[in-house]
Structures are given as C-alpha cells and as structure tokens.
Amino acid sequence: METIQRRKAERREIWVYLGREPGAEMICDGCGKRVDRVHDVDVRTIRDLPILDAAAWLSVPRRRVLCPYFGIRSRTPTNRR
C-alpha cells in the first residue's frame, strides 16, 4: 500500500492507492508463460466497502504484458511469494 488519502467531498471518502508488487512475476494469461516485457499499466478504480462512515475507493495498477505469442495480455496476478 502506498498512499491513503482522505478527501472531503460531500460525503467523506477514503482513497487507497496500491503500489506495484515489487518483483512480482508477470504471467501471460494467454499461454501461461513468464513474460518480462510490460506493455503498459492501467489503473482500475474499485469501490470498496465503506470504512466507518467514509466511502472507500481502491486505486489498483494493473500491468499489461507483451507476450511474443499472444500479444498484449493482462497479467495474471500471482500470489506466490
């Protein structure tokens, strides 16, 4: 987790910015092989459950990989540590 912001809007909001997982493997979701080229990163905003009385939002970066066989694919999240 990198940053948490409290914003004063009409109702209270909490924004959580998730950082990149350092050293996480990138696996192509087309062929399941390891890919080491990042095509780009898109950021998804996800509404989370409210925290106390504040609306909570998560900002999650997702890397897209460039696979030599399948082209641009989403990176499958891996939780292996």
Nearest-Å Rg of the Cα atoms of the chain is 16
When the beta carbons of 4 and 38 are compared against Zn ion, the nearer one is 38
- Let me know: does 63 contact 55? Beta carbons within 8 Å: no
Angle at 57 between CA 53 and CA 61, to 5 degrees: 160
When the beta carbons of 12 and 63 are compared against Zn ion, the nearer one is 63
**In the bound complex, what is the minimum distance in angstroms from residue 39's beta carbon to Zn ion?**
12
**In the bound complex, what is the minimum distance in angstroms from residue 3's beta carbon to Zn ion?**
32
Instruction: State the residues that interact with Zn ion by CB under 5 A.
Output: 28, 30-31, 67, 69-70
